[in-house]
Amino acid sequence: MKNRFEVEAEDAGKRLDVFLLENLQDFSRSHIKNMIEQALVSVDGKVASKSGMTLKAGMCVQTEIKLPEPISTEAENIPLDIVFEDEDVVVINKPQGLVVHPCTSTKSGTLVNALLFHIKDLSGINGQLRPGIVHRLDKDTSGLLVVAKNDFAHNALAEQIKDKSCHRHYLALLEGNLKEDVGRIETFIKRDEKDRKKMSVQASGRVAISDYKVLKRFEKCCFVEFVLQTGRTHQIRVHAKFLHHPVVGDKLYGHEAKGLAGQLLHAYKLSFTHPRTGNRMTFEAPLPAYFLNYLSKIGKNDE
């Protein structure tokens, strides 16, 4: 689908991406940026190479819009490690490499697709693409998350996350050694303006608080427990980078590690109050084999 826009006098001086954002109202700034990077936008017959190009009156802007492939919400027979299930909630031990819900970059093969196959009912509060999803884990972060089977449970669990009575504990291996054995990281985090795949510490962001405790020190890294006080996207990974000790294997915020598919970050403990019974429930998931093997390897190197 192609569109053609003529730059009027009142639009002169505007950036190309701003102009398109105003004229293609169903598209986000990031989508428009991607269109420009994929050479789908031209100005006066020439492919536009910069989002910040300044427009002049009389210019002709043309776009070629590729409609996205449909995102699948079909049930898929993907194995799940179900730690607990009743009529209200399901606790899942998510493996590394599994995306939580479908998105433009991962249209199927997600935790949601698996849930639709294995679980009869899921809450509908987050819509068709994220049924039952109360909180998320990054693709390459393993461990526990709770899923709501109905709207009553979903609302109750979401409120617990909001008021911090749902406790989430993580284990991570960090590059280098932290100076202090225990501490609190309190910053502001928002989407990075230069790289939209990343989050970063910025004064204009939302408050993000993580508590940490060093459990074991090795020569070149340290094994750390994190407890989230807030739940920002990529929070632990961003905070680890902020301390100049990124999570081992974190290709986005740190460095790729030989033999690892992703970061060594595991949500090992989850505590919440059951929405219906009021009972306090705590679940733990052991470290995955690849994480244990890596710890064993560096432990032997330190001997």
* Cα angle, residue 293 at apex, residues 287 and 298 outer, rounded to 5°: 115
The gap between the terminal CA atoms of the chain, to the nearest Å, is 63
* Interatomic CA distance for residues 268 and 228, integer angstroms: 12
**Residue in 296, 299, 284, 289 with CA at minimum distance from that of residue 91:** 284
> Given 88, 138, 140, 250, which residue is catalytic?
138
* Cα angle, residue 160 at apex, residues 82 and 265 outer, rounded to 5°: 50
Residues 6+ positions from 267 with CB-CB distance below 8 Å: 94, 137, 141, 142, 143, 144, 145, 168, 169, 170, 285
Beta-ladder partners of 90:
85, 147
Q: Which two tokens stand for residue 175?
A: 């590059």
**Residue in 29, 26, 23, 25 with CA at minimum distance from that of residue 52:** 29
* Interatomic CA distance for residues 243 and 187, integer angstroms: 11
Q: Which two tokens stand for residue 173?
A: 């291996």
Q: Which two tokens stand for residue 153?
A: 């449970």
Q: For residue 26, indicate whether it is catalytic.
A: no
Half-sphere exposure of 219 (CA within 13 A, CB side): 7
Q: Which two tokens stand for residue 20?
A: 């398109």
**Residue in 188, 235, 233 with CA at minimum distance from that of residue 212:** 235
* Interatomic CA distance for residues 238 and 254, integer angstroms: 10
Q: Which two tokens stand for residue 76?
A: 């898929």
Tell me the catalytic residues: 138
